[in-house]
Amino acid sequence: MPPAAAWALAVLAPAYGALLAVRHFRQPLRNFVFSGQDGPVLVDGMPVHAASVSWRGPLAFIRWDDAAGRTQRMAWWPDTLPAPKRRELRLAAPLRRAARRGASVAT
């Protein structure tokens, strides 16, 4: 990369990082309510469709479809969701249902 382009990108990188930080801090806080295994999941008081929680070690991910049909996602890292809250989420989140069709492996 030519030095002029590298310096231009080096100057723009902190500005872009600041823009992302401002955008992140302006996002509203979300309130999730899990109403049991067969009850609706509420996000900010509104029922959502196809809500699912997945785990990758201590990381928690939730995915749902809003009223307009758009897919929304959130992720929690261990530093943003303490261990007692992770356990509460794991216990309250709806379980994934097993496949209803035949065998899912080759026979």
SS3 string, 58-88, reads CEEEEEEECCCCCEEEEEECCCCCCHHHHHH
Q: Is the pLDDT of residue 68 over 70?
A: yes
Q: Taking 60 as the threshold, does the pLDDT of residue 98 lie above it?
A: no
pTM beyond 0.75: the answer is no
Contact 48/64 with Cβ under 8 angstroms? yes
- Mean pLDDT over residues 67-92, rounded? 85
The pair of three-digit structure tokens given for residue 56, joined into one six-digit string: 């990758």
Q: Are 52 and 94 in contact (CB under 8 A)?
A: yes
Query: 50, 94, 53, 49: which is closest to 67 by C-alpha?
Result: 49
Q: What are the tens digits of pLDDT across the range 9-65?
A: 999 999 999 999 999 899 888 888 887 767 788 888 888 888 888 889 888 898 999
Q: Using CB atoms within 10 A of its CB, is residue 89 exposed (0-12), middle (13-18) or buried (19+)?
A: middle
